[in-house]
Structure 1
């Protein structure tokens, strides 16, 4: 499994376009190299001309944010950062503006994204990982105490400076108390697929603090293992894995680390551990020194022209009459009971390791039919944790050993299921025969609904 950076900023330090603002003056700041580039602007290195203090300036194109319908998103990011003064949260100093641009003057962090750190160096030992996690929890719980909920916590949005200190960034999807509905919950489905909490995908409302805890748990898992707890190329199957919360926690982690991960990655938000509970956990508390928030809240200067853009009243962005309704992938999957999602799945060939196919049989019928089919073919069946393990000994060519295949069924909607077969070991030719037999008997339409394959 390979971690993939899905951050909305491209690092293009060698691009000729990076020179467009270099050397330009913005009040008391001189702009330098481009640190990152996104859909609606750039992040530039800058220096205070008088003090030589470094900053990062996020340059936002007003026309682009209007075109992308993200005016409220920018307002929320500014409003959230204005409230936050904590060692583990990137600091906003001021917001400047022109008729066409918004300039957010931010703290410059000398270091790297936690994503880059894990990709380049691999998993961290528990002592180093715990120190980063403690700082992450300090920063996130402080945000919650100020009524700010991040909603897009992931490795790419956690910076680690040269001294090994964590700073949380990118509050573009954050929510604040006034965005909660009458039921006390948030309802906008957002976040990054591998880090999003199951209750967000369920599309029935969620608590911002509880969902942030889940995302912190995913980050902790990656820090300590080097890979994601829930991962799949197919978004519909990834959604089901997250929703079930069936995470495989490595046995080589300490009992304390295993326990806290299990308590955080609880798919039930009602029983999931809280921020307060995490801070009382024995594994978390080892060598823990809480961070002190800045006692004095600085006044953040915000130019009135920064908000001379469309005024929007609700969390849901304004649409002009007649414009199409926009839904994201989470919402589409949440509506899956009304849709045929077989179109999500690519047609591929049976691989040497894993296949998937769709079926409209019920889960009960699928399990029974699979058991009948593999038994007729001479396999033994074992049931464990909702999965089937089918085993067949090769009596003719004993050198090949026994064939072992794991069969798992995922519910995508009430009328659509995905069957996944994974070969653990054994004769590939017999495995292919088994796959083709099940495809012919159970898939809909036959042979046309393979969803993914993986060659190892």
Structure 2
């Protein structure tokens, strides 16, 4: 799947110039795959998302471009950092910061087995506080995330919570226009009541 960007995302850097070394698949999506990659320049780990846009609807293509736009305009410790993007023919590559401790969805399942413990109250409060800080940042920059769920909240080994997956996000101009604030999108089980009621919505729907 990463072949279209073989000169950018390589499995072996010894054969010539490349920007990122592919360390293996980290996830599968409807239109492509995600890889853990290592920056050749500084050795830092990142996530490279490779997508086949020929399989996307026009709406999905707009979502991909909106994700790049929103991530590019974010600069906050509680937001997954945008690094790079490339387009080639019908393929799109987005490179982002790697959060090395998964997400609460995975952690809850992991902590429910064996001798592991569920999140304690103070841990949950800390996660919630950092997430609220991330919300405050994107909303103050006129962005709606529109797909808040545990799988899109990422964790690092240093204890930081990072909001990720901006695939349904949108950055608006001055106020939330009716077009943006009435679009039905997101993950069904996590949608705000306003969307199910076919009502317009604002930043509150993220919370």
Normalised to the residue count of structure 2, the TM-score between the two structures is: 0.84
Aligned to 2:204: 210
Asked if 2 retains the 8 angstrom alpha-carbon contact of 1:18 and 1:33, the reply is no
CA–CA separation in structure 2 for the residues paired with 1:194 and 1:28: 38
Structure 1 residue 18 displacement after superposition? 9.2
Cα distance in 2 for residues equivalent to 1:63 and 1:184: 26
Q: Which residue, out of 45, 60, 67, partners 1:77?
A: 67
**Is 2:37 the partner of 1:46?**
yes
Query: Taking structure 1 as reference, are residues 27 and 100 closer, same or farther at Cα in structure 2, changes over 3 Å only?
Result: farther
**1:187 maps onto 2:175 in alignment:** no
1:101 and 1:24, CA in 2 relative to 1: closer, same or farther beyond 3 A? farther
Residue 23 of structure 1: aligned partner:
11
Whole-Å separation in 1 of the counterparts to 2:195 and 2:59: 21
* 2:130 maps to 1:142: no
Which residue is equivalent to 2:155? 160
List aligned pairs for 1:320-399, cutoff 5 A: none
Q: Distance in 1 between matches of 2:180 and 2:67?
A: 19
1:120 aligns with 2:94: no
Q: CA RMSD in A?
A: 2.4
2: distance between equivalents of 1:189 and 1:81?
21
Name which one, 1 or 2, has greater alpha-carbon Rg. 1
Give distance in 1, aligned partners of 2:206 and 2:42: 37
Work out whether 1:201 is the aligned partner of 2:196.
yes
CA contact (8 A) 1:90 1:167 kept: yes
Q: How much does 1:117 deviate? A: 0.8
Aligned mates of 2:102, 2:92 — CA distance in 1: 25
Structure 1 residues 94 and 18, CA, compared in 2 at 3 Å: closer, same or farther? closer
Instruction: Give the deviation of 1:177 after TM superposition.
Output: 1.2
Q: Deviations over 1:6-47 (max 9, x none)?
A: xxxxxxxxxxx8999761668422222011110111111111
Structure 2: 5+ residue runs without aligned partners? 113-117
Shift in alpha-carbon separation, 1:184–1:98, aligned structure 2, 3 A: closer
Q: Kindly indicate whether the alpha-carbon contact (under 8 Å) linking 1:40 and 1:65 is maintained by their aligned counterparts in 2.
A: yes
Question: Offset at 1:184?
Answer: 8.3
Q: Is it true that 1:90 corresponds to 2:84 in the alignment?
A: no
Aligned counterparts of 1:71 and 1:24: Cα–Cα separation in 2: 31
1:177 matched residue in structure 2: 172
Return structure 1 stretches of 4+ with deviation > 2 angstroms: 17-22, 24-27, 178-181
Distance 1:31 1:126, change over 3 A: same
Give yes or no for contact 2:37–2:48 (8 Å, CA) kept in 1: yes
TM-score in terms of structure 1 length: 0.40
Cα displacement (A) at 1:204: 2.1
Q: How many residues align structurally? A: 194
Q: Taking CA–CA contacts closer than 8 Å with sequence separation of 6 or more, which of the two structures ends up with the larger relative contact order?
A: 2
Q: Distance in 2 between matches of 1:121 and 1:104?
A: 31
Question: 1:147-201 CA distances to partner (integer Å, 9 max, x unpaired)?
Answer: 11111000000111112221111000112214943x5861111222222111111
1:124 Cα deviation from its structure 2 partner: 1.9
Pick the aligned partner of 2:26 from 35, 39, 63.
35
Please tell me whether the aligned partners of residues 22 and 32 of structure 1 are also in contact (alpha carbons under 8 angstroms). no
